[in-house]
A = this chain, B = another copy of it.
């Protein structure tokens, strides 16, 4: 726990060795949590074996399995959130362009590292803590979408916003899941294009219902 009296070992500073081991554990955790085979659970012995470390070092960096799972999840979601916001901001001030840029960034990340994709979207993930984390993320994403739409279309407090955002979030997750596991066979850009079209179509419901209200 304490970092007092950490010697150099193997030519490496004590803090660096700890940080290195922590990184190895997070990477190994991502290997397991994002594994293609679904019946691998995140056990202390398992993640240490994957990391090439012994169990003693697990508790050097994490209090328990849950702490590691959270670290892995946040590691992935922080990156995806940051880059997606950047991509959306950098896109032209056009509805379709913004949505397309955001979706493209998400699809690129989960395609380049399928572990991340499965961690975020796999329908067969069994880790309870991560499933709850996902629910939180979905709520957050849905709420962001709702605000964005509200601002864009200048709606006040339309009650239809919330279920619609939830629908979009779930639909995207399901589509990417099916794409990642091979059920849907499309090129990367085709997935992005299709999802963009669906986003826009659902957004048009608001527009037309708003016109009806007016």
Contact = CB atoms under 8 A, between A and B. Distances in A.
Which among A135, A159, A160 has the greatest number of chain B C-beta atoms within 10 A? A135
Q: Is the interface of A mostly helix, strand, loop or mixed?
A: helix
A105 interface: no
Interface residues of A, number: 48
Contact of A128 (B38, B142, B202): B38
25 contacts: A39-B128, A123-B134, A123-B135, A123-B138, A125-B131, A126-B131, A142-B178, A159-B190, A162-B178, A162-B183, A163-B178, A163-B179, A164-B194, A164-B198, A166-B171, A166-B174, A166-B178, A166-B184, A168-B171, A170-B170, A170-B172, A170-B173, A170-B174, A198-B205, A202-B202
Which among A127, A142, A184 has the greatest number of chain B C-beta atoms within 10 A? A184
A59 interface: no
A60 interface: no
Which among A174, A178, A191 has the greatest number of chain B C-beta atoms within 10 A? A174
Interface of A: 38-39, 123-128, 131-132, 134-135, 138-139, 142, 159-160, 162-164, 166-175, 177-179, 181, 183-184, 186, 190-191, 194-195, 197-198, 201-202, 204-205, 209
